[in-house]
Structures are given as C-alpha cells and as structure tokens.
Structure 1
C-alpha cells in the first residue's frame, strides 16, 4: 500500500512541479540567460522562487488528500486511527464517542496542515504587489 501511494502521489507531485515551472513566462528564463546565469542559477534565483507561489496551493491539497488516503491504507503512524478506533469500539461498545474522536483527530491533522500551508503561502507571497 505504501509503495502504491508513493508511486501514485509521486506522479501527481511531479505534474504539480512541472506545471508550476512551466507557468513562469519564458521571458524570465531568457532574461536570466542574457544576464549570464547558468541553467541552475536561473532555476534557483529566478524561476523556482516564482514557481513556489504557483505550486503551493495544489501541493497543499495533494498533501491533505495523501493524509486521508494513507489512513485508508493503514499507513498513519504505527497503527492506523480507524483500525485502532474499531478495536476500542469493540472493547468499550461506545461507537459514537470513539468514532467522533477519530473524526476529530483527522480534522485536527487536516486543519494543522492547512494552517501551516497558509502560513507558508503568506511567507512566500511577501513583497508581491497585486
């Protein structure tokens, strides 16, 4: 399951990065070349800083989706939350409380990820005039 998720999401991530880099106008690359920058320098100093702003929103969505999908494949932490919730429910016969707590944990993980990405987006957007 881990290998399948890794390969599947790796393809999505590669496409997100490719689209972000290609979204930068070709004139930026040409300008960097005319200043005597190598390909690596132009990517590091010109293209990637601009592409990060384009890449962050879909990247954040992909990571949150990966979090949710990995729970279905029992990959979160040592034991998967839903499976642990099922075991706890079987012991306590308190389905409502157990599954509400599991849902609250998933919500918390997703919200923490979203807030972190929002902060990174704000940081990456500093100095941009709209």
Structure 2
C-alpha cells in the first residue's frame, strides 16, 4: 500500500502512517498522530452536546503503525516530473504509474511516433 499527498502541484509519498478504526492516515512526523486523534475525537463528538475530556478520549484511541510501500526511483522520477492542478488528476496518474499502466502521455507519444514513421514511409517512396 502506498499513500501520497499533493505539495506544490507534485505528488509526495508518505513513508509512514497509522491505522485508526479501519482508516489509514499518512503521517510525516509523530506529532501528526496526535493531530489525527484529535480530529477523530472532534468528529465523534461533533453532533452531541455531551461534555467530554479531549485528553481522555484521545488516550482511548488505539493506533497501528504502518510503513508504506515506496515507488521505485524510476516511478518517482516519472511521477514527480509532472505537476497537477487537481488531486483527482494526480491520483489517476500516480495509480497508473504505480500499476505499470501506460499513461495518456505515453500513449500519445507512441501514437505520434507511429504517425511520424508512417509519414516518413509514405514520403520516402
């Protein structure tokens, strides 16, 4: 499993993460764990009028540490050579590279090469 985020239009990969109640979160530093737990508690109590002690509720939350799969240097180079305007475009591109699928840019390049070869063959006769 890998997990990534957008920074300045490029994909950055998390090395580590935590799993809390079946949801996996990427973290950059250990202090992110507390921030995530605080958000989980806030979400849990957001629609209730009950008084609760944030520290007590945070202490109740158990997490499992996760090490994420990292892209190869070739995959990372290919992924980070491109910038994105939207997270959905980036997600689609990263998934295609990580799955070894041809990207739209690669398909377009192959088609342009074939067109050039066909044109050269026609012009050469």
TM range (shorter): under 0.3
**Between Structure 1 and Structure 2, which shows a larger proportion of helix residues?**
1
Larger Rg: 2
TM-score (ref. length: structure 2): 0.27
